[in-house]
């Protein structure tokens, strides 16, 4: 009974000295951007079943369908979800107490003389328990908890990044579709110009050079049409890859590129910097470094191992209690290097955290300026430039058919129209991409202009 009481006492001591403090690290709540879409979550047990993945989008594809499919089917996001579960399992393991040990000793037997048999043997049965001192268990749990929260931050940052990337690729598909359509219009116009030049040549009012030039323009327009077709196929595949699609099965994307996000104010963005996922996640990184330092400091205190149990004397048939206490002597290794390493690494992380904040501020300012510039450019092109180029092409084309304008004037006007439309598309695309970068950095969706 004495040995059982000793072991119970040792267990109580181990529990008291190994109580884990509450971790300062906290799992991130989902940011507002894309929060309305369900995302992939790994099963809570290794043998559990995850939610069924939806079918790949087909037919006419809208942005909300692309985002929903990406969040539930993306393999990279699924990997981060499983990493969160793995860190949860590691935290569960970190909370475990050291197992007790059982030692059986048999002495004074199989020798010579009186000790040739087992009559004078001594049998000792010892139960041992490692007692962690210095807060080792609490520090171990703190590190595992911080690792778990870091994995949760990785999942959330990946989710936001996936949303932004999918939305950006959706915009690229819309722009590629529009370029393909414009290239088709240009090809039709070039072919019509070639037919007109052929009629004019037969009528004797045009030179053979004019017909040759018209044929070359038609061939160039055909090459450009095929080029935009290849670009569209590439953009479609890149978008399908976000939901792990090996082939783009949707027919076309449907959306309005001209509906641009509203420009946030500088003050509004400044208020969102501290809540940015690119900034906030570093607080958990610092908490993890603090936990690592606490763990290194706890290792300065040596653990003790308590053994207790009965011993039987075969010669007298008596029993006694044996107690052993093993205490390491910290003479050569005081864990100084390990502690200093964690301190230097925390200082390094503090510098990295400051650099990340500066980088986030710079990226936000850059994205806002780009959004303002591209939105203004798109507005000017839509209101002033595009109507003029469209009207010029129409007037010159009719005048050429009537013999009032030269062919080169129509070709130049068409080139100017295509260049203006391309510049307009580029401005719209850059505006959407800049807005999406702001959403990625702040985690908050932008309003759309009325």
pLDDT of residue 47: 77
CA-CA-CA-CA torsion sign (363, 368, 371, 374): negative
DSSP run (H or E) holding 310: strand 304-313
339 neighbors 294 (Cβ within 8 angstroms): no
The DSSP secondary structure of 356-391, one letter per residue, reads HHHHHHHHHHHHHHHHHHHHHHHHHIIIIIHHHHHH
Residue 448 per-residue DSSP state: B
130 neighbors 7 (Cβ within 8 angstroms): no
Nearest residue to 186 (alpha-carbon basis) of 397, 382, 401, 395: 397
Nearest residue to 25 (alpha-carbon basis) of 138, 140, 139, 145: 145
pLDDT of residue 211: 76
Three-class SS of residue 261?
strand
Measure the CA–CA gap between 258 and 382, rounded to whole angstroms: 10
Distance of CA 409 to the CA centre of its chain: 52
Dihedral of the CA atoms 386, 392, 395, 396 (nearest 10)? -140
Show pLDDT as tens, one digit a residue, over the chain (450 residues): 444 444 444 444 444 344 444 444 456 788 999 999 999 998 888 877 777 778 899 999 999 999 999 999 999 999 999 999 999 999 999 999 999 999 998 888 777 776 677 778 888 899 999 999 989 999 999 999 999 999 999 999 999 999 999 999 999 999 999 999 999 988 888 887 778 777 767 777 667 877 777 788 888 889 999 999 999 999 999 999 999 999 999 999 999 999 999 999 999 999 999 889 989 889 889 988 999 899 999 988 899 999 998 988 887 888 889 899 999 888 888 888 989 988 999 999 999 999 999 999 999 999 999 999 999 999 999 999 989 888 887 887 778 677 776 767 777 788 888 889 999 999 999 999 999 999 999 999 998 876
pLDDT of residue 206: 63
Nearest residue to 78 (alpha-carbon basis) of 1, 154, 2: 154
CA distances from 296 to 207, 351, 419 (A): 90, 21, 64
Nearest residue to 163 (alpha-carbon basis) of 448, 445, 425: 445
pTM of the predicted structure, to 2 decimals = 0.84
Please, what are the domains in the chain? 2-28+62-109+119-442 (1.20.1600.10)
């Amino acid at each position: 009974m004495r040995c059982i009481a000793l072991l119970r006492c040792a267990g109580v001591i181990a529990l008291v000295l190994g109580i884990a403090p509450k971790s300062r690290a906290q799992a991130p709540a989902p940011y507002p951007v894309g929060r309305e879409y369900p995302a992939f979550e790994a099963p809570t047990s290794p043998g559990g079943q995850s939610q069924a993945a939806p079918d790949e989008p087909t037919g006419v594809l809208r942005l909300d369908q692309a985002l929903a499919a990406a969040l539930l089917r993306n393999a990279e996001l699924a990997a981060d979800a499983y990493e969160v579960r793995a860190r949860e399992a590691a935290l569960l393991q970190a909370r475990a107490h050291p197992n007790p040990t059982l030692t059986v000793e048999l002495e004074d037997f199989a020798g010579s003389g009186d000790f040739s048999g087992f009559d004078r043997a001594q049998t000792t049965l010892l139960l041992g328990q490692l007692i962690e001192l210095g807060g080792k268990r609490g520090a171990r749990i703190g590190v595992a908890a911080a690792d778990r929260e870091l994995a949760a931050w990785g999942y959330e940052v990946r989710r936001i990044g996936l949303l932004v990337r999918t939305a950006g690729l959706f915009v690229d598909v819309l722009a590629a579709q529009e370029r393909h359509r414009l290239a088709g219009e240009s090809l039709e116009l070039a072919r019509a110009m070639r037919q007109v030049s052929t009629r004019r040549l037969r009528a004797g009012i045009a030179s053979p050079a004019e017909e040759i030039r018209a044929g070359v323009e038609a061939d160039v327009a055909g090459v450009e049409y095929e080029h935009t077709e290849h670009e569209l196929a590439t953009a479609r595949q890149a978008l399908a890859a976000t939901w792990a699609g090996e082939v783009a099965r949707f027919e076309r994307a449907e959306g309005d590129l001209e509906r641009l996000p509203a420009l946030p104010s500088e003050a509004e963005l400044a208020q969102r910097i501290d809540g940015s996922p690119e900034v906030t996640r570093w607080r958990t990184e610092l908490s993890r470094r603090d936990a690592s330092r606490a763990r290194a400091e706890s290792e300065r205190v040596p653990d003790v191992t308590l053994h207790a149990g009965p011993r039987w004397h075969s010669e007298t048939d008596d029993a006694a209690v044996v107690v052993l206490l093993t205490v390491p002597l910290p003479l050569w290794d005081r864990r100084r290097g390990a502690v200093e390493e964690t301190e230097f690494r925390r200082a390094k992380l503090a510098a990295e955290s400051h650099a990340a904040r500066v980088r986030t501020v710079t990226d936000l300012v850059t994205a806002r300026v780009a959004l303002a510039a591209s939105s203004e450019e798109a507005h000017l092109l839509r209101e002033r430039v595009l109507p003029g180029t469209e009207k010029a092409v129409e007037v010159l084309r009719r005048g050429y058919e009537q013999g009032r304008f030269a062919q080169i004037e129509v070709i130049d006007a068409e080139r100017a129209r295509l260049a203006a439309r391309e510049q307009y598309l580029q401005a719209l695309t850059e505006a959407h991409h800049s807005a999406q970068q702001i959403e990625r950095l702040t985690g908050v969706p932008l309003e759309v202009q009325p």
